[in-house]
Structures are given as structure tokens and as C-alpha cells.
Amino acid sequence: MLIIAVPSQDSFISKCSNGILNMPPHHISRFSDKTLKNISEIFNIELLEIYHESVQKEHFDFYKQTIWANIFLKPKLIDTSIKRKIINKAGIFARPFIKIPNDAYGHTVVAVYRVN
């Protein structure tokens, strides 16, 4: 059995600008569901399940802030512009109006494989 748990590139964190905890040295690569499926083909192991956590309570504000910012600006890995800073600050007031869908993917994805 092989279990891989990584930040999900198919979640809201892929749309986050300046997400320093999802950059080196913390995380070097990005894992989408497609990548996790391809691992099974490349290494000849059986993919049993891909599980996405839901957005956790401690990430609610982060999720809403990210969605808010993306209404106005395209996500960039690094964005230190004044425009980004103003929009992020304004997002504090928008949080109560942004709803998190029940099926929104949270920060982490877990892939479970059976080694042949």
C-alpha cells in the first residue's frame, strides 16, 4: 500500500497568489488528480482511491479571500502589486457574502495505491 497526501492543485489553493506555504521549500511540485492518476500508470501500481478533503474551518477565510481576489485579478504565483493589496484588503468586507459550495475541494488530496 502506498498513500500520498499532498496539496491539491485541483482545489482553491491553485488560484492563490503569494501562497508561500505552497512554494519551495515547503512544496516543490504541484499534484492534480491527473498527475496522481498518471503515477499509477508510470510506476505500474493500482490507484484505489483519490480523496479530497472538504474546505476545513480554519481555511474558510483563506478560501473566501482567494475567490474574492480572483473575481478581479488573474492568479499569479507572486503578485506584490498595489492593486492586489487593495483588493485583498477589501476582501475582508466581502467574506460574509461569499459562500463555500458543499463540493468545494479543500487544501489536501490523498491518493491510495496498491503496489503490485
Give the DSSP letter of residue 99: P
Identify the residue whose cell numbers are 474551518: 57
Percentage of the chain modeled with pLDDT above 70: 100
Backbone angles phi, psi at 90, to 5 degrees: -65, -30
DSSP-assigned letters across all residues of 56-85: PGGGHHHHHHHHHHHHHS---S----HHHH
Predicted confidence band at 41 (pLDDT cuts at 50, 70, 90)? very high
Q: How far apart are CA 16 and CA 37, in angstroms?
A: 24
116 has a pLDDT exceeding 90? no
Report pLDDT for 24: 80
pLDDT tens-digit map of 78-114: 999 999 999 999 999 999 999 999 999 999 999 999 9
Query: pTM for the complete prediction?
Result: 0.83
Identify the residue whose cell numbers are 497568489: 17
Mean pLDDT of 35-39: 97
Q: How far apart are CA 73 and CA 96, in angstroms?
A: 20
